[in-house]
Chain A
Amino acid sequence: MMSQTNWKLEPSLESAAQIQLQAQYELFIDGKWQKPLSKNYFNSVNPADESHLAKIAWGNAEDVDLAVLAARRAYDTVWSKLSGAERGKYLFRIARLMQEKSKELAILETLDGGKPIRESRDIDIPLACNHFFYYAGWADKLQEAFAGQQVSALGVAGQITPWNFPLLMLAWKVAPALACGNTVVLKPAETTSLTALKFAEICQEAGLPAGVVNIVTGYGDTGAALVAHPDVDKIAFTGSTAVGKQIHKACIGTSKKLTLELGGKSANIILEDAPIDQAVEGVINSIFFNQGHVCCAGSRLFVQESIAERVLEKLKFRLQSIYVGHPLDKNTDIGAINSKKQLETIERYISLGLAEGAEIYQPDCTLPSKGFYCKPTLFTDVAQSARIAQEEVFGPVLTIQTFRTMEEVVQKANNSPYGLAAGVWTDKGARIFGLSQQLKAGVVWANTFNKFDPASPFGGYKESGFGREGGRHGLSAYLKFSN
Chain B
Amino acid sequence: MEILKTYKLYIGGQFPRTESGRSYAVVSPSGQHIANACQGSKKDVRNAVQAARKAQASWAAKSAFNRSQIIYRIAEMLAARRGQFLEELQALGSDLEGATQEVESSIDRCVYYAGWADKFQSLLGSVNPVASSHFNFSVPEAMGVVGVVACQQTALLGFISQVLPVLIGGNTVVVIANQKSPLCAITLAEVLATSDVPGGVVNILTGEVSEMLPTLSAHMDVNALSISPIEAKLQQMAQEEAIDNLKRVRIFAEPLYAESAQGLPYISDFQEIKTTWHPVEQIAGGVGGY
A interface residues with partner B (beta carbon < 8 Å): 85, 88-89, 92, 130, 133-134, 136-141, 144-145, 406-407, 410-411, 428-431, 433-435, 437-438, 454-455, 471-472
Question: Is A435 a contact of B283 with CB atoms below 8 Å?
Answer: yes
For B265, the closest partner residue in chain A by CB is A144
Least CB distance from A236 to B in Å reads 21
Q: Which residues of B have CB within 8 Å of A134?
A: 65, 118-119
Known contacts A85-B108, A429-B278, A437-B290; is-contact A137 B114 (Cβ 8 Å): yes
Number of interchain pairs (Cβ within 8 Å): 84
Q: Is B68 an interface residue (CB 8 A)?
A: yes
CA distance A138 to B111 in the complex (A): 11
Give a binary string over B241-284; 1 marks a CB under 8 Å from any A CB, 0 the rest: 00000000000000000000001100000000000001111111
Q: Is the CB of B122 within 8 A of A85?
A: no
Q: Collect the chain A residues with CB atoms within 8 Å of residue B114's CB.
A: 137
Whether B112 lies near A140 (C-beta < 8 A) is yes
Is B229 interfacial (CB-CB < 8 Å)? no
Check if B198 is an interface residue, CB within 8 A of chain A: no
Give A471 to B118 CA distance when docked, in angstroms: 10
Chain B interface size, under 10 / 10 to 19 / 20 to 34 / 35 or more: 20 to 34
Between-chain CB contacts (< 8 Å), 24 pairs: A85-B111, A85-B112, A88-B115, A89-B111, A133-B69, A134-B65, A136-B115, A137-B114, A137-B116, A137-B117, A137-B119, A141-B115, A144-B123, A144-B263, A144-B264, A406-B283, A407-B284, A407-B285, A410-B284, A431-B281, A433-B278, A433-B279, A434-B280, A434-B286
B264: nearest residue on chain A (CB-CB)? A144
B111 touches A438 (CB 8 A): no
Query: Which residues of B152-207 are within 8 A (CB) of A?
Result: none
Residue from the set A89, A130, A434, A435 with the largest chain B CB neighbour count within 10 Å: A434
Cα A455 to Cα B286 with chains together (Å): 29
Interface of chain A, helix or strand or loop or mixed?
Answer: helix
Which residues from B are CB-within-8-Å of A140? 112, 115
| B119 & A434 in contact (Cβ 8 Å cutoff) | no
A residues near B69, Cβ cutoff 8 Å: 133
Q: Is B135 at the interface (CB under 8 A from chain A)?
A: yes
Residues of A within 8 A of B280 (CB): 430, 433-434, 437
Check B122–A137 contact: CB distance below 8 A: no
CB-nearest residue of chain B to A453: B65
A134 to B135, CA, bound (A): 28
CB pair A455 B122 closer than 8 Å = yes
A430 x B281 contact (CB < 8 A): yes
A137 contacts B284, C-beta separation under 8 Å: no
Least Cβ–Cβ distance between A37 and chain B, in angstroms: 40
Q: A85-B108, A137-B68 known; A430 and B284 CB under 8 Å?
A: no
Which of chain A's residues have a CB closer than 8 A to the CB of B68? 133, 137
A133 with B65: CB separation less than 8 A: yes
